[in-house]
Amino acid sequence: MPDTMPGTMMAMDWTLDTIAVTAGRPSRSPDAPLNPPITMASTYVAEGEVEYGRYGNPTWSAFETAVGALEGGRALAYASGLAAVAAVLDLVAPGEHVVAPRHCYNGTLAQLATLEQRGHVRVTLVDVENTNAVVGAFTEDTALVWLESPTNPMLEIADVSALARAARQAGIPVAVDNTFATPLLQRPLDLGADVVVHSATKYLSGHSDLLLGIVVTRREDLWAALEDRRRALGSVPGAFEAWLALRGLRTLHLRIERSQSSAATLAERLADHPAVAQVRYPGFGSMIAFELSAGGDAADTVCRSTRLCAYATSLGGVETTLERRRRWPGEPSTVPDGLVRLSVGIEDVEDLWRDLDQALRAA
């Protein structure tokens, strides 16, 4: 098998675990590095394929090749997850309609709200678990269906395949934020979606040390439009961030295996805890949301009382983090005040449980 992966196709039918380790590496030759080097350049010699630092970088390309292989498409990296979201939303023409989840990343909701306030788009927010309601929100001028599954922070599950099929019949492109599931647990392009978006800050890089976003598609027209807008708007990643993200991606399968196993154990124990009113866990992945019986103040106490779990707003790293989501003013009012979002890391599960249990007892 060639060690480079041109486009999105592998020369052999490797598993996704192996692709995570092998994709995006330089071709093998004597004394060649196994890992792509960091290319720190804003200027390139003329008459080549790159020309200028805003147009491309070999380190970005290596990361894009790897993520594209995992998702089964062609990828473009961006400066952050929200930059990737903005790039996709920028494809919606003025006055057109967007269907999006009532519960999803609040940065996405904030972007949609701002666009709507400025009169650029019209937005209908829906319950993504209700397939009929989502399809019923389609109109003649719907230009994009935006999905998250599982949703942030309520962990609702959309029937991506059914929604993509209905949208395709209506001629509407579908974008799926796949940050929580990762391509190891869900491949939206295989389910009929047109675009996949990740905050690569989270699981793909996995070490809470960079900001990065990525978009993947199989449609050449969408890839070309997104690449054109990235050039024009300059929302490009740093070479060092792309290199770090690719290094983190090499252990994605190991991190997901460990954190998902621990999440299943913790979800079961949390459901039996007297301080917990409800646990939301979709049965896969490493994210849990649980509601405190005593409400928001108790949830804040839990977050401040943990000693191992970090009280922090991000997720998807090797360390376990938690927070009460309604502490953010932009979080939808339909998110329960006492809901805690828990991102399970790769620490020992018994240590995590002892920490959570003592914090719940403190509340």
H or E stretch at 300: helix 296-305
Q: What is the DSSP string of 171-187?
A: T--EEEE-TTTHHHH--
Q: In the chain, what is the straight-line distance between the N-terminal and C-terminal CA atoms, in Å? A: 56
- Sequence-distant (6+) residues with CB within 8 A of 270 are 276, 279, 288, 290, 356
Annotation says 55 is catalytic:
no
Token pair of 100 as six digits = 């999006």
In order, the DSSP letters of 12-49 are S---HHHHHHHTTPPPP-TT--SSPPP---SB--SSSS
**Listed residue (276, 270, 272, 246) closest to 344, CA to CA:** 270
* Helix 349-362 / helix 296-305 crossing angle, nearest 10 deg: 130
Does residue 150 have a cis peptide bond before it, meaning omega lies within 30 degrees of 0?
yes
Q: How far apart are CA 362 and CA 286, in angstroms?
A: 25
Give Cα separations from 128 to 125, 133, 157, 210, 336 (angstroms): 9, 8, 7, 30, 18
Selecting among 74, 90, 105, 325, the annotated active-site residue is 105
Task: Confirm whether 54 is a catalytic residue.
Answer: yes
Instruction: Single out the residue of 2, 30, 14 nearest to residue 69, CA to CA.
Output: 14
Q: What is the CA radius of gyration of the chain?
A: 21
Contact 147, 175 (CB under 8 A): yes
Those residues with Cβ within 8 angstroms of residue 204's Cβ, 6 or more apart along the chain or in another chain:
67, 182, 198, 212, 214, 245, 248, 249, 252, 316
Q: Would you call 280 a catalytic residue per the annotation?
A: no
Catalytic residue selected from 54, 102, 168, 229: 54
User: Which one of the listed residues 25, 74, 187, 202 is annotated catalytic?
Assistant: 202
202 is catalytic: yes
User: Catalytic positions, please?
Assistant: 54, 105, 177, 202
